[in-house]
Amino acid sequence: MRVASAPVTWGVWEKTAGRDDLVPPELLLETMRGLGYVATELGPPGYFSPQMLEEHDMALAGGFAPLRFEDDAGFREDVETWLDPVIESLLATGARGPAVLAGGELAGPHEPPDAAYFDRVDRAVDRCRSRRCSRIRTSASVTTRATHWSAAGTRWRSNGCAATGSSICT
């Protein structure tokens, strides 16, 4: 059995990226290896590089891309900042993925997603597939909103991937 870890376990994730008190990436990889892990999730863009993973004999288990599907300008920014680097790292390391596409965290009550939201989900999945990222997973935040959409009477399927709690597109 192979066991993977993730930088988020040590407090390194999209909400802490850029802080100067985070565990240095090299030290974290050495710690992971010392604990017996053989693979890791990518972490925030630029935290681990494919070269760094190779130097520490760590496989890439996948990457997480928080995307603001509810906001077109934010979505375009997130694709460049988050999704493209995840795809590039998966391709550079030969990893199968998954690329986890996570919807943004919306505070308080909000409207159910509209057609534009799901069009952006489809575009993100298409972008992964067009770059030969073979495993794509939508997070619970995306699929929860899809449930709202389905409850309104419309069935959403993203490129053949049903919007269910743990949908994986292969």
Mean pLDDT by runs of 10 across the 170 residues of the chain is 86 88 95 95 93 95 90 94 93 86 74 86 88 67 46 40 38
Structural domain of residue 98, as residue ranges?
A: 4-169
Provide the token pair at 158: 């993203």
Answering whether pTM is above 0.85, one says no
Q: Write the CATH number for 48.
A: 3.20.20.150
- Residue 42 contacts residue 77 (beta carbons within 8 Å): no
Domain total of the chain: 1
- Report the C-alpha gap between 17 and 27 in whole angstroms: 16
- Residues 6 or more apart whose Cβ sits within 8 Å of residue 21: none
pLDDT at residue number 139:
62
- Report the C-alpha gap between 147 and 165 in whole angstroms: 9
